[in-house]
Amino acid sequence: MEITREDFEAYEDVRISGVTNMFDVRAVEAYSGLSREVILDIIEHYSIYKKWLHERKYTDMAKVISGTHGIGSILARYEDIVAVYGKPFTRLPENKMDVQWIVETEHGIATIYNYKDGKAYLGDKGLDVRAIKEWHIGGSGHGRTVFKEIQTSLHDYVKERIGG
């Protein structure tokens, strides 16, 4: 399922109108014409959709990361990535990834994601995201510079967390 800017705007129209509590999914369905699944996905990933679909005017999330490609991998704890970049995006195509962060760097868009090692791809044999230690980095344009920015941000956070 891909949430489009049109879907998000329909949700926002209802939210801004104030006609219902947005957690009353049946009412939001009736007012917006969106399905329950779409509404719940927008609620879960509201800030990501607001940034990329509403403020930046992308038509869908695939367009945000189009042009990014694998540029390396890093060793990091899930908790540290969350502390630096916030909650990950979890609605991903193809079930090859469990989570993905979309990061805006000084030199372009970067993504941090697991690949084919989690439960989405391997089922019960896959790792829980909190057990994953190697994360892939995708980037566009200035790939090495984008990679270095991600690596430095995480390194600086961990260094501060452990006290030097």
- Taking the C-alpha atoms of residue 158 and residue 77, their distance in angstroms, rounded to an integer, is 10
The pLDDT tens digits for 92-101 are 767 899 999 9
The pLDDT tens digits for 114-163 are 999 999 999 999 999 999 999 999 998 778 899 999 999 999 999 999 98
What pTM was computed for the model? Answer: 0.85
Q: Is the pLDDT of residue 77 over 80?
A: yes
At 122 the pLDDT is: 96
For residue 149, the Cα-to-chain-centroid distance in whole angstroms is 18
Reported as a pLDDT band with limits 50, 70 and 90, residue 75 is very high
Greater model confidence, 66 or 16: 16
Strands 100-105 and 134-139, how do they pair? unpaired
- Local structure of 102: helix, strand or coil: strand
At 89 the pLDDT is: 85
At 121 the pLDDT is: 94
The pLDDT tens digits for 28-58 are 999 999 999 999 999 999 999 999 999 999 9
Q: Residue range 55-63: average pLDDT?
A: 92
**Residue ranges of domains in the chain:** 5-61, 67-161
Annotate 101-136 with b (16+ C-beta within 10 A) or e (fewer).
Answer: bbbebebbbbbbbbbebbebbeeeebeebeebeebb
- Taking the C-alpha atoms of residue 50 and residue 70, their distance in angstroms, rounded to an integer, is 26
